[in-house]
Structure 1
Amino acid sequence: MSEPLTTPSRRIGRLSGRGESAVIVLVSLLATAATMFWSYQAKVACGGAPFDAQGRSRNWPAGDGGLIPCYSDLMYLWLGRDINNHVFPYIHGGINPDGTLFGGVVEYPVLSGLFMYLGAIGAHTDTAFFTQSALLLAPFGFAITVMLALMVRWWALLWAATPPLVLYSFHNWELPVVATAVGAIAVMAWGASADPDTGRRRLGVRTSAILAAVLLSIGFCLKLYPGIFVLPLAAYVLTGGAADVRDAARRGLDWAGAAWVAGTAVLTVVAIQLPFMVLGFEGWKAALSFQGRRKADVDTNSIWYWGLRYLTGTTDTYHSLVGVLSPLLVLASFAVAMYLGWRVYKRDGIFPWIGVSGAMLAGFMLFHKVHSPQYTLWLLPFFVLMRVRWQVIVIYLATDVALDLTIFRLFPIRDAGDPLPWWILTGVAGSVWVHAALLVYLIATLARTSLREPLASRLRRPIDANRVEATTAPPTFTGRA
């Protein structure tokens, strides 16, 4: 008779692997708890009694002047967007001719605005709002850690135990959107992994990609950027996913599967946006109008302000050039990333959708007129999941620390009208341009950068021929018929 599919040795090996995975997850979660607690302690220093009549702490915005600037957008937005008045977002508001928002409108996609509203329930001070928002965000940080640990094991500590999680966990509403992007990759990895009993994929390529597209669309409604990953994901399905490289030339393009991925993404976005559009179209549109009017000033922290401005001055010409060049170059970077990914597909037979997604994100971060420091959390999972050169990672994270320690000291000095110290200007401008150079490098290289193990093997694991034979071969009989 044929050998049983699951032998005792295989079961023992599987249990041993699960035990090691549990240790990795536990250590990574403890590291995440430590870094996020540190982040909370650093940022809450901007709050606390006494409070004014609107619930704004007298400690705002400088706190006690600790090493890590305590400024956070979570606490800042307590006032000015009707969050303190507990107005449900978008439904009743709009935008004034001078560009100020009113009536509960916030300049974020609708699901982030909903998070802000939930964080303010029952809060009457900026500190209470910050604490409740942190409690809403923290589970997403832990979820990201678990997914990364299961995909690349100890490399998850690059997420859990490095400065970005200290600096930005509770600076803005980034953790939920990062969780959707990492979750989409995790779904694709789980679907492509082999079932231990059959040796076959757990989910088909189309099914996995459709589920991932739903997550990316939810991310789009949180902070936009995961939506750009739908294009390389659809290209991955179009080209047949991780089929055997030898079959790449013979298999046709799966246009129907790619259409399912794109269509699912569009329908998910519409389903989330439609209630806000119907109940408060002017408020919903006001958030888009605010972003469209936003200019590349010092608080947008981009190459435009720290580069082009020196050639044109802060003039109408400057703003017009940024308004044209920024979207054109973002789209051009997307096209370059897709082209480089297609070249890899032609060579290897597999479209590297994760690497292309990272390259597209790098292009967006480089050329968009807004580049907030906390966007490092967007990019960090790609450092974890991919074999990016360690020198690039170290330099990027080191200059990110320098940026955070200087830019949030620049704002209060500028607002007071005082001259800026040389070290602050050097820290901000220098960090922006070092990041810009590294982002150019990532655009050019991520498409051909390999994934870390065991993620790489799971996404490209061939079907176990012995198991397939065992499940498909006719049974062997002994004795008489």
Structure 2
Amino acid sequence: MMSMGQKVTRGRVSPADTEPVAHDFINAIGGPLGRFAQVGTQRFWTPLRVLITTSLVFLAVGFLTKANCIQGGRGEDGVIALNWSGNRQYTSACYNDIVPLYGGRGLDSPGFPYAYSWQEGDLTRYMEYPVLGGIFQWIAAIITRFLYPVVDILPFHSLPEAGLYFIVTALGLAFFWVLVIRMMVELTGNRVWDTVLVAASPLVAVHAFTNWDTPSIAAAVGALLAVKRGNPVWAGVLIGLGTAFKLWPLYLLGAFLVLGVRSGKLKEFFSMMGAAVIVWLVINVPVIITYPEAWYEFIRLNETRGAEWTTIYQILDRNLAAPINNPGVLNTLSFLFFAGACLAIAVFGLRVQRRPRVAELAFLIVAAFLLLNKVWSPQYSLWLVPLAVLALPHWRLLFPWMVVDAMVWPILMWHMLGTENMGLPGGVLDIVLIVRGGFIVAMVVLVIRQMLGRIPDPVLDAHGGRDPLAGAFGDTDTFTLTAKRSTGASTSVEGS
């Protein structure tokens, strides 16, 4: 009798069958499987181990792209100081928030990060990251301060303490990205090799260690996996944890709300949302009570900051005669645009005849946030990588998008040098940003067409017409907003 594992293996689909990019790569390394090849019999080099190894290679490249910013030099007093002379952080495109914030947020000294403050003119500043993000940084700082005396014994070394902090932090961030790959192997199911696009993403090589984003991505992907396994409460726990790292995992609840309404599984949705709220409160309330101003710093900074360098609002600001980079105006515009987009996605998700897949809805929501929000720090694009692969595994579209999106970083760094230092003019940056936005809009359009049944859905085709991530939300609909052709009676729509 065939085991469940064998059934999955026999149903495995190779991207080389449908994707020219994957087909050319497979041919380059030896060609497609032979007629009598037995899939799933390799004892050591399983897809999981191959993909984790691939991710480690790209994480190593990501570390090397930042390595020029962790170097230092020993002064006459014997103290090793960080060396960013000659605008190294821009000319090497090695800038990251990890190194400067070690001293800038008081992490180089004992004490809880939200108890630390400093003055910027008349303004008292605090740690501006959500609570779990700040605690993650704090733990890495404790490890750094414990280890650095050992490192400092080594003769002739020139690694500053902030450099060791970067290394410790990078190891933690890399762990979470490897965890993402492990979970993606299960989420991709019969299209397991689509995970190559996550493990070998150019965005990993550029942004894995730009900021503290991989834990929130792991939490969001973990929530998808928990739902697939039929555990909406655990999915809520992970969404709560992810939201305590970065805000965006909260948006996954919108996708599950649509599916909860369509499938009549609102109990599962509310249990998920309740778990997310409880976990978020348990983590945040102690800091809210003890350090209210420090906790509010994240909100205050986001309310008062202008548009980030790579947003559509900055493109308009750089090219319009009348500047629009006003925080109050941008807050209103970005909120209304995103709220409108979420409403449109919800209505479309309820009306479309073919049951939407979890990944399709989640991708549309997060893509709308990136396109319409006033802040799009370049590393935010990493959020979209797993969702894009799960929603639209079209290699010849996703890989060029990731290449262009990765190129935003060095071009932005070159632009930030300033024209007085032979930096790139804003027009060059605008061109690559428009191309990046065009790719994401194209992906959104294709996902919508896929949901409408205008183009084939390779994920449904590989899984017998069912959403492999639906899990606790079932396979059938009990309600949609789609008009019925016959009587007004409600009928169910199969999730094909």
Normalised TM-score (structure 1): 0.77
* Cα deviation code 1:190-246 (max 9, x no counterpart): x2xxxxxxxxxxx3xxxx222212211211111110101112213323332xxxxxx
For residue 438 of structure 1, report the CA deviation from its aligned partner: 3.1
For residue 180 of structure 1, report the CA deviation from its aligned partner: 0.9
**Number of the residue aligned with 2:368:** 363
Rate the CA distance shift 1:343–1:55 in 2: closer, same or farther, 3 A: farther
Alignment map for 1:267-346 (pairs within 5 Å): 267-298=278-309, 301-314=310-323, 318-344=326-352
For residue 287 of structure 1, report the CA deviation from its aligned partner: 2.4
Alignment map for 1:449-468 (pairs within 5 Å): 449=451, 450=457, 452=459, 453=462, 458-459=468-469
**Number of the residue aligned with 1:381:** 386
**Number of the residue aligned with 1:392:** 397
Kept after mapping to 1: 8 A contact 2:317/2:323:
no
Is 2:132 the counterpart of 1:111? Answer: yes
> Could you tell which deviates more after superposition, 134-143 or 15-24?
15-24
Kept after mapping to 2: 8 A contact 1:363/1:440:
no
| In structure 2, distance between residues paired with 1:120 and 1:169 | 19
For residue 162 of structure 1, report the CA deviation from its aligned partner: 2.4
**Number of the residue aligned with 2:21:** none
> Could you tell which deviates more after superposition, 29-38 or 227-236?
227-236
**Number of the residue aligned with 2:98:** 74
Rate the CA distance shift 1:262–1:410 in 2: closer, same or farther, 3 A: same
Among residues 213, 222, 228, which one is paired with 1:174 in the alignment?
213
For residue 157 of structure 1, report the CA deviation from its aligned partner: 0.9
Alignment map for 1:64-103 (pairs within 5 Å): 69-93=93-117, 98-99=122-123, 101=125
Among residues 410, 420, 423, which one is paired with 2:423 in the alignment?
420
Which residues of structure 1 form unaligned runs of 5+?
1-6, 192-202, 241-252, 464-481
Is 2:269 the counterpart of 1:230? Answer: no
Rate the CA distance shift 1:71–1:238 in 2: closer, same or farther, 3 A: same
For residue 25 of structure 1, report the CA deviation from its aligned partner: 0.6
> Could you tell which deviates more after superposition, 17-26 or 255-264?
17-26
| In structure 2, distance between residues paired with 1:69 and 1:118 | 27
Kept after mapping to 2: 8 A contact 1:49/1:58:
yes
**Number of the residue aligned with 1:469:** none
**1:50 aligns to what SS in structure 2?**
strand
The one-letter code sitting in structure 1 at the alignment partner of 2:468 is R
| In structure 1, distance between residues paired with 2:303 and 2:89 | 36
The one-letter code sitting in structure 1 at the alignment partner of 2:351 is R
**Number of the residue aligned with 1:58:** 83
**2:439 aligns to what SS in structure 1?**
helix
Q: How much is the aligned-residue C-alpha RMSD, in angstroms? A: 3.0
For residue 266 of structure 1, report the CA deviation from its aligned partner: 1.6
Rate the CA distance shift 1:64–1:296 in 2: closer, same or farther, 3 A: closer
Kept after mapping to 2: 8 A contact 1:111/1:222:
yes
Rate the CA distance shift 1:235–1:13 in 2: closer, same or farther, 3 A: same
Provide the identity percentage.
Answer: 21
* Cα deviation code 1:49-76 (max 9, x no counterpart): 316799641146854987x621111112
**Number of the residue aligned with 1:467:** none
For residue 457 of structure 1, report the CA deviation from its aligned partner: 5.6
The one-letter code sitting in structure 2 at the alignment partner of 1:161 is A
Is 2:170 the counterpart of 1:162? Answer: no
| In structure 1, distance between residues paired with 2:445 and 2:4 | 43
For residue 31 of structure 1, report the CA deviation from its aligned partner: 0.7
For residue 406 of structure 1, report the CA deviation from its aligned partner: 0.9
For residue 354 of structure 1, report the CA deviation from its aligned partner: 2.2
| In structure 2, distance between residues paired with 1:12 and 1:398 | 35
For residue 445 of structure 1, report the CA deviation from its aligned partner: 4.3
| In structure 1, distance between residues paired with 2:438 and 2:339 | 18
Rate the CA distance shift 1:172–1:460 in 2: closer, same or farther, 3 A: closer
| In structure 2, distance between residues paired with 1:210 and 1:97 | 46
| In structure 1, distance between residues paired with 2:423 and 2:351 | 47
Among residues 71, 81, 92, which one is paired with 1:48 in the alignment?
71
**2:107 aligns to what SS in structure 1?**
coil
Rate the CA distance shift 1:457–1:306 in 2: closer, same or farther, 3 A: closer
Kept after mapping to 2: 8 A contact 1:237/1:258:
yes
* Cα deviation code 1:301-346 (max 9, x no counterpart): 2110111453254467x444323211111111111221221123xx
Kept after mapping to 2: 8 A contact 1:47/1:126:
yes
**Number of the residue aligned with 1:197:** none
**2:82 aligns to what SS in structure 1?**
coil
**Number of the residue aligned with 2:494:** none
Rate the CA distance shift 1:99–1:231 in 2: closer, same or farther, 3 A: farther
Aligned length: 414
Is 2:434 the counterpart of 1:433? Answer: yes
Rate the CA distance shift 1:308–1:409 in 2: closer, same or farther, 3 A: closer
Rate the CA distance shift 1:254–1:12 in 2: closer, same or farther, 3 A: closer
> Could you tell which deviates more after superposition, 129-138 or 119-128?
119-128
Kept after mapping to 1: 8 A contact 2:262/2:350:
no
| In structure 2, distance between residues paired with 1:286 and 1:162 | 33
Normalised TM-score (structure 2): 0.75
Among residues 164, 169, 173, which one is paired with 1:137 in the alignment?
173
For residue 36 of structure 1, report the CA deviation from its aligned partner: 0.7
Which residues of structure 2 form unaligned runs of 5+?
11-39, 149-160, 452-456, 476-496
| In structure 2, distance between residues paired with 1:309 and 1:12 | 55
For residue 11 of structure 1, report the CA deviation from its aligned partner: 7.1
The one-letter code sitting in structure 2 at the alignment partner of 1:321 is V
**1:283 aligns to what SS in structure 2?**
helix
Kept after mapping to 1: 8 A contact 2:97/2:211:
yes
Kept after mapping to 2: 8 A contact 1:359/1:444:
no
> Could you tell which deviates more after superposition, 29-38 or 121-130?
121-130
The one-letter code sitting in structure 1 at the alignment partner of 2:416 is F
**Number of the residue aligned with 1:256:** 267
Rate the CA distance shift 1:268–1:64 in 2: closer, same or farther, 3 A: closer
